[in-house]
Amino acid sequence: MKTIGLIGGMSWESTLSYYSLLNEGVKAALGGLHSAKIVLVSVDFAEVEAQQREGDWQGAAALLARAAQSVEAAGADFVLICTNTMHKVAEEVRQAIEIPLLHIADATGQALVRDGIRKVGLLGTRFTMQEAFYRTRLADQFGLEVCVPAELCQQRVHDVIYQELCLGKVTDSARQDYIRIIKTLQESGAEAVILGCTEIALLIGDADVDIPLYDTTAIHVQSALNASLA
């Protein structure tokens, strides 16, 4: 079994899901008392969020690169950044280490292509929905047409993530807003919707809507399990 490296804390709520799902996956695959071999460096999300808000992506890249180097030094065989948004600096992180970085958008794109999806809706932070680093990767590398909600809906999705989900707060009003926004994506022709923020699965799941949802946390975890247990 290979050792999985995690850069977490963005937020710790979703990192907890990564840790639980990885250990559940190893137990299901190997049985007995087996658990995942994990090296975790958890950053202070308040520092990262301030860098995001101020547009200091160079500083954020340096912070995550140092975390990745610590994970590598501790013996990880590969590393995951446990958040969608911070894949904006994934290339800087990858260049700072010798071990592979498993990109969350690549794992998601592979799952969508495998299932025959061509047009997909994307929910996430404002950065993930509006900027090219995520959408363009899905389009260029996987041939996917990516659609996002209207501006006001984007803001609502973003605010729920930072003001509620990252604080462990799950409300029915937020769930109903997300359901409504997902329906608008479906009406625009989306065949599925990417839950492109690792906290969104805390709020909404397949039982809430009648369109396939792609939980990037679960997909990213499965890619790590495949690499660890290969």
Residue positions annotated with a catalytic role: 83, 197
Q: Which two tokens stand for residue 214?
A: 């792609």
Is 217 in contact with 17 (CB distance < 8 Å)? yes
Q: Decide: helix, strand or coil at residue 102.
A: coil
Extract long-range pairs of 103-107: CB within 8 Å, 24+ residues apart: 103/137, 104/80, 104/216, 104/219, 104/220, 105/134, 105/137, 105/138, 106/137, 106/141, 106/223, 107/216, 107/219, 107/220, 107/222, 107/223
